[in-house]
């Protein structure tokens, strides 16, 4: 009678169970939280906050319009290599709909056959006054995003970025960030790029890519 090598049998059994359970376990984020099976995401054009629209100066409106264009370009570059994220231009989603911002975003994404929609809102965009070594006014930008599941309306991710560049002596806790900037005053475009990459990078549906949520 042949002897059974139980160590080998146990090993093969563990591999089999692991393979079967791996097919059934849904994808999870870095924090271990279960992710919804999002197949494709619509990225809508950046919107400007209208909370203080009546009190905005013409110069502020002009700055925000410039910032909107910059954020749209940054979003397009961020998702350029993604096969499941579709970045839409302003012309592609214009329409005569009425309703809340988030309701319209979900409705537009549904019409575009997307499972989720990324809504970015710009609140402040202020260019630096001065050069890299000395400024009269530093760059300042504030924006946020929300990633919504189209059918459920659930907020999958939401993050915000709000920074006015400071000197190292004003904020010693940001030494590494200041060093990364060469201890220089950066333009608002660079500040917006850093902020966007930072907050998008915290969403497991977006980085390393929505493919990981399938």
Rounded distance, CA 125 to CA 62, Å?
10
> What does the pLDDT average to over 140-165?
92
**Going from the N-terminus, what domains does the chain have, and what CATH number goes with each?**
39-213 (3.40.50)
Nearest Cα neighbor of 203 from 36, 45, 25 is 36
Rounded distance, CA 163 to CA 141, Å?
6
Average pLDDT score over the chain: 75
Q: Residue 177: what pLDDT?
A: 65
**Percent of the residues in the chain that have a pLDDT greater than 90, as a whole number:** 36
Confidence of residue 69 (pLDDT cuts 50, 70, 90): very high
| Whether residue 146 has pLDDT greater than 70 | yes
What pTM was computed for the model?
0.73
> What does the pLDDT average to over 157-170?
80
Q: What is the pLDDT of residues 71-120, one digit of tens each?
A: 999 999 999 998 889 898 776 666 545 445 677 777 878 888 889 999 99
CA 90 to chain centre: 18
Rounded distance, CA 49 to CA 78, Å?
22
Q: What is the pLDDT of residues 5-43, one digit of tens each?
A: 444 444 444 433 333 333 223 344 444 467 888 889 999
């Amino acid at each position: 009678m042949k002897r059974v090598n139980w160590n080998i049998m146990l090993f093969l059994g563990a591999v089999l169970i692991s393979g079967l359970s791996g097919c059934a376990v849904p994808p999870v984020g870095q924090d271990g939280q279960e992710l919804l099976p999002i197949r494709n995401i619509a990225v809508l054009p950046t919107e400007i906050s209208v909370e203080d629209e009546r009190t905005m100066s013409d110069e502020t409106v002009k700055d925000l319009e410039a910032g909107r264009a910059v954020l749209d370009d940054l979003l397009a570059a961020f998702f350029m290599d993604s096969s499941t994220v579709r970045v839409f231009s302003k012309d592609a989603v214009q329409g005569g709909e009425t309703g809340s911002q988030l309701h319209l975003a979900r409705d537009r994404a549904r019409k575009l056959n997307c499972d989720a929609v990324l809504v970015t809102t710009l609140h402040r965009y202020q260019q630096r006054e001065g050069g890299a070594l000395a400024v009269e006014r530093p760059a300042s930008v504030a924006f946020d995003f929300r990633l919504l599941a189209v059918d459920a309306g659930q907020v999958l991710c939401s993050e915000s970025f709000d920074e006015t560049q400071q000197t190292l002596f004003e904020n010693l806790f940001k030494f590494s960030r200041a060093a990364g900037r060469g201890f220089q005053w950066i333009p608002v475009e660079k500040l917006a790029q850093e902020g966007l990459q930072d907050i998008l990078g915290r969403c497991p549906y977006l980085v390393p890519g929505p493919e990981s949520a399938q």
